[in-house]
Structure formats: C-alpha cells, structure tokens
Amino acid sequence: MTSLCPPPSRIFCGREDILNKMHQFFSDTGIQHIYVLHGLGGAGKTQIALKFINKSSSRFTHIFFIDTCTIATIETGLKNIAVLKDFGNSPEDGLLWLTSKVEEWLLFFDNADDPDINLNDYIPQCNHGNIIITSRNPGMCVYAGSHSPVLDMEEEDAVALLLKSALQKATSSTEQITAEIVKVLYHLPLAVVQAGASLRKSSTMYQGISFIPVVHPKKKYRSLWNSSHIFCGQLENGILCSFWTLPMRSNLIH
C-alpha cells in the first residue's frame, strides 16, 4: 500500500461521533465516496481526517495527501502521484492514473479554503475511489456525499487534550482547573494544544488560578490567570476569533 499522509497527533482526543460517521460512510464499495469536514481554522479538521485515515488504512489500496491551499500546491500533489506511480510527469497524468486505477484509493484534499479554486477540476471524474476534503468553506459540501461540521470539542475531551499536551496527570484537582482553562478557550483544539505547550514549561501552572469573565460593549472576552500565565479568548458573533496564552510578567499586573 502507498501512503503519503502524515500520522495524526499522538495526543488526539475525542471526535468519536464524526469518526464513526466517516467509518460508516466509507464502508460501502463500488462507488466514489466524497466526505467534507468543514469548520473554523483550528477546530481540528485535519487531525480528524488523519485519525480516520490512520485507523482505516487497511481499507484503502493507496493514500495520497494533497495540500489544497493553492492551485500550485494541488498540481504539485497530483504530479507527485504520477511520478510515484511511474505514470508521467504532470498533474493531468496523476489524475489519469487515479481515474484508470479502479481500486479503493484515497485522496485527501487538505485546506481547500479558497473559494476561487474550482476543486471539481482536480477531482477524478470516475465512479471509484475515495476523497476527503477539509475546508473552512461550508460551500465545499456541494461536492460531498456526506459531511460533518467540525465544532468546538466536548469539555471532557478538551480537558483530556490539555492534560496530555501539558504532560499532566489527570486528578480531581487538575481536571477541575483544566476545565476552567478550556472554557476560556471555548474548547477550540488549536487553542487548547497551544495552551498546553505553554503550561508544560511551568511548574506552577495549577497554583492560584482565578476565573474572571470580562464583557466589552462590542466584544466578549474570557480571561484566566495565575502567578505564571494568562489566558484570554475573544468571542465575536459566537465565534472564537482570537486567543492568547502568555507567560505572566510583573509589568502586566500593574
């Protein structure tokens, strides 16, 4: 089996509902399957796709990863398929190999966010094969046989992710305080992982934390701090638009 996909994060947590739905969708054979994962940046779309691929690798004959940020990266990815399979040296040759290879290959289009790219030009026009698309653009669902919106994590999963990222054991004390931290970050996986990476360097991460919600007339903030760190999440129109995890310095307190 050919696999050009990176592995999922070792600290991946949760998302069992989406993974189960994907497993059920891709269980049928004999038709082309297209599944779209759509949601905000940092919501975990790519990691969900990689986790599914990792758990289901035996289901597919070949696995190809395509960076879909630009036309140039898409064409490079398709060209690489042709070169790898000794089937030519162009994006068109890569597409031709996929359409002619009547097998259960998987093509992963990651970060298909640009609405000006007509992704249909790069989807093999055939009745076989499997495709996963991740995008911030819900309009990509037009290609999908099935799809899942990727939202914030369940609190229990976000707590487990932060503890793993921070290399902390799960105890009643650490879980209680970690729950307050992930609330500040609105359970967004990218924010949770970055917070864990910052906290991993601190020996006082769970000492004296206070939770203070702050409301601005136009913007809503949540903040949380102790003697060593400050966390802040900013929400606009129900969406976490920015977040911070910073070392606490004395000049920030005054």
CATH class of the domain defined by 2-150 = alpha beta
As annotated, the residues of the chain forming the CATH 3.40.50.300 domain(s) are 2-150
Helices (H), the chain: 16-25, 45-55, 71-84, 91-100, 155-165, 172-184, 189-199, 250-253
**What pLDDT sits at residue 102?**
94
Between the CA atoms of 167, 200, 134 and 103, what dihedral angle is there, to the nearest 10 degrees? -40
Token pair for 85:
């399979």
pLDDT at residue 205, as a whole number = 53
pLDDT at res. 213: 44
3-state secondary structure of 198: helix
Mean pLDDT by 10 residues, the chain (254 residues): 82 95 91 95 94 94 96 97 96 97 96 95 96 96 95 93 89 84 84 81 54 46 54 54 49 33
φ/ψ (deg, to 5) at 63:
-130, 125
- Tell me, what's the pLDDT at 239? 47
DSSP 228-254: SEEEEEEEETTEEEEEEEEE--HHHH-
Label residues 142-173 b or e (16+ Cβ within 10 Å = b): ebbeebbebebbeeebbbbbbbbbbebeeeee
Question: Quick one: how far is CA 149 from the chain centroid?
Answer: 11
pLDDT at 204: 54
- For residue 10, the 8-state DSSP code is T
